[in-house]
């Protein structure tokens, strides 16, 4: 046998050995089942559902460029009615419709911020229940904002209300924060953060929306999991422009603006310049979920040390959700051209929305797309962009506190770090806090996930008592 033959045989032998090691590790590790179920507490469910219902009935749609403070002041008036002790005993600050409450504790060394937004997205289309009806039916509270995220606002206000009624005094300062511009990426939360910076407050923990108690977080992984958001991707909007001399559509030239833009879109779709890789937080997520999946899932994701190169190629090709976890994504969202059907455009544009991953962040992603655009005689303008944010350390004291609270309030519920592919207000708090954890203690099944920003948004009433208890426990545990 030739030297090359011996080398190939040795390589094959090593591969077989590695596969055997992975197989044995998978067999020895065994399979797990996520069997947590929510406790039913009918009286509390009814009380909390009624409060959330009334909050949903106040329409709080935020709109770009509109001054809407009076609308949100009406919502604040309802909050004062629903949570009188909070408004009587906490220090309230209102800034242009955005809310900040301080509950003074015995110490201000490790303050905690509980936050979620008041505003909601528009409600269009035909709904089973009117979008601002707040109907309570079929064991659910229906309406825009019920799940995203007035349920969380209700839960932490109610948590403080109940603790105040008990005469409880927190060991550490507690802040309740709620902006009215989250859905439009507005300046509401930054104003609250600036106020805290002015006061010299540096939170130990910020708990915002993002992850949740998710049913079947990844296809094939059955059961409920506490998906704790520890990393939020960056975001950018780029405009791509193509220019020409225009002209009549009866004698169209080649390489017209729209043709060049179309070629560019196809080029990006077929030859994406975005590289897939596993961030440490993504590895931790798949590794945590692996024992709960079928055998093939346990073999592949339980042995990333071996199968990572294969999965980097395979996952983005078969799942948009997996692609979003592994690389910067590019979505073509808007396009414009001529204003007349028979006129060639002098300029045509399209807009790309990017979600940046840390290993190929804003600069690298934008440069890669700009180079591709230049090959098609196009120009690129960055409208706005910010990098992926530093992740929460999974071994930090704040993360462990959240894990301990989940174990106490939801015994038996598996916990898993999670990567946020969308955006939250918590990113603004990262100026003053190292542990901005994205986790809403509410159960979201496929129906709830589909309804957020879509039709028939709702939240299950059975998940509301656990949400209230979660926030109470966060306050109690922060010693």
Report the candidate in 157, 201, 153, 178 with the shortest Cα–Cα distance to residue 96: 178
pLDDT of residue 9: 65
Residue intervals in the chain for CATH 3.30.70.360: 234-384
Please state whether 374 falls in left (phi above 0), alpha (psi between -120 and 50) or beta: alpha
Residue 125: per-residue pLDDT: 93
Cα distance between residue 251 and residue 254, in whole Å: 10
**CATH 3.40.630.10 in the chain, residue ranges:** 42-232+389-477
Percent pLDDT > 70 in the chain is 97
pLDDT score at 10:
61
Q: Are 458 and 450 in contact (CB under 8 A)?
A: no
Count CB atoms within 10 A of the CB of residue 233: 24
Opening angle at CA 221, ends 217 and 223, nearest 5: 75
Range from 59-63, 111-115, 247-251 carrying the lowest mean pLDDT: 247-251
- Range from 3-12, 115-124, 407-416, 453-462 carrying the lowest mean pLDDT: 3-12
Domain spanning 234-384 has what CATH number? 3.30.70.360
**Range picked from 34-43, 195-204, 249-258, 387-396 for highest mean pLDDT:** 195-204
Q: What are phi and psi of 252, to 5 degrees?
A: -70, 135
Supply the mean pLDDT for the chain.
93
Instruction: Look at the alpha carbons of 444, 447, 449, 452 in this order and tell me if their dihedral is positive or negative.
Output: negative
**Residue 5 confidence (pLDDT) above 70:** no
Give the DSSP letter of residue 61: B
Q: 3-class DSSP state for residue 41? A: coil
CA atoms within 13 A on the CB side of 282: 23
DSSP secondary structure string for all residues of 66-127: ---HHHHHHHHHHHHHH-HHHHHHSEEEEETTEEEEEE--SEEEEEEEEE--S-B----S--
Q: Which CATH architecture has domain 42-232+389-477?
A: 3-Layer(aba) Sandwich (3.40)
């Amino acid at each position: 046998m030739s030297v090359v033959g011996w080398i190939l045989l040795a390589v094959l032998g090593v591969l077989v050995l590695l596969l055997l090691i992975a197989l044995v590790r998978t067999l020895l590790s065994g399979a797990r089942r996520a069997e947590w179920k929510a406790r039913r507490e009918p009286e509390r469910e009814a009380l909390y559902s009624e409060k959330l219902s009334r909050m949903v009935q106040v329409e709080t749609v935020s709109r770009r460029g509109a001054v809407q403070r009076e609308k949100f002041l009406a919502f604040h008036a309802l909050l004062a009615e629903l949570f009188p002790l909070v408004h009587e005993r906490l220090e309230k600050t209102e800034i242009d419709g955005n809310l900040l409450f301080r509950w003074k504790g015995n110490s201000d060394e490790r303050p905690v911020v509980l936050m979620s937004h008041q505003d909601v997205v528009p409600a269009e289309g035909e709904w089973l229940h009117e979008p601002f009806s707040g109907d309570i039916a079929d064991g659910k509270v229906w309406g825009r904002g019920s799940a995203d995220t007035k349920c969380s606002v209700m839960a932490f206000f109610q948590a403080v209300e109940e603790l105040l009624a008990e005469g409880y005094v927190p060991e550490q300062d507690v802040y309740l924060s709620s902006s009215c511009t989250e859905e439009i990426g507005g300046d509401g939360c930054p104003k609250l953060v600036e106020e805290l910076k002015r006061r010299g407050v540096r939170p130990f923990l910020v708990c915002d929306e993002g992850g949740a108690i998710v049913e079947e977080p990844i296809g094939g992984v059955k059961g409920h999991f506490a998906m704790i958001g520890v990393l939020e991707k960056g975001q950018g909007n780029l405009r791509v422009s193509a220019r020409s001399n225009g002209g009549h559509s009866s004698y169209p030239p080649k390489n017209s603006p729209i043709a060049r833009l179309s070629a560019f879109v196809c080029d990006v779709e077929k030859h994406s310049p975005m590289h897939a890789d596993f961030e440490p937080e993504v590895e931790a997520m798949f590794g945590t979920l692996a024992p709960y999946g079928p055998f093939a899932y346990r073999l592949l994701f339980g042995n990333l040390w071996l199968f990572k190169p294969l999965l980097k190629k395979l996952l983005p090709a078969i799942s948009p959700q997996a692609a979003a976890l592994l690389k910067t994504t590019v979505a073509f969202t808007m396009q414009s051209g001529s204003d007349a059907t028979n006129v060639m455009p002098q300029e045509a544009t399209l807009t790309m929305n990017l979600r940046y991953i840390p290993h190929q962040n804003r600069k690298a992603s934008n440069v890669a797309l700009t180079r591709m655009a230049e090959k098609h005689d196009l120009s690129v303008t960055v409208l706005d962009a910010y990098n992926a944010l530093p992740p929460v350390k999974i071994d930090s004291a704040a993360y462990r506190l959240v894990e301990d609270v989940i174990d106490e309030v939801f015994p038996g519920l598996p916990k898993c770090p999670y990567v946020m592919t969308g955006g939250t207000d918590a990113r603004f708090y990262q100026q003053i806090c190292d542990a901005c954890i994205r986790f809403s203690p509410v159960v979201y099944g496929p129906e709830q996930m589909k309804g957020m920003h879509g039709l028939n948004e709702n939240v299950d009433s059975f998940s509301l008592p656990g949400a209230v208890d979660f926030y109470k426990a966060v306050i109690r545990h922060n010693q």
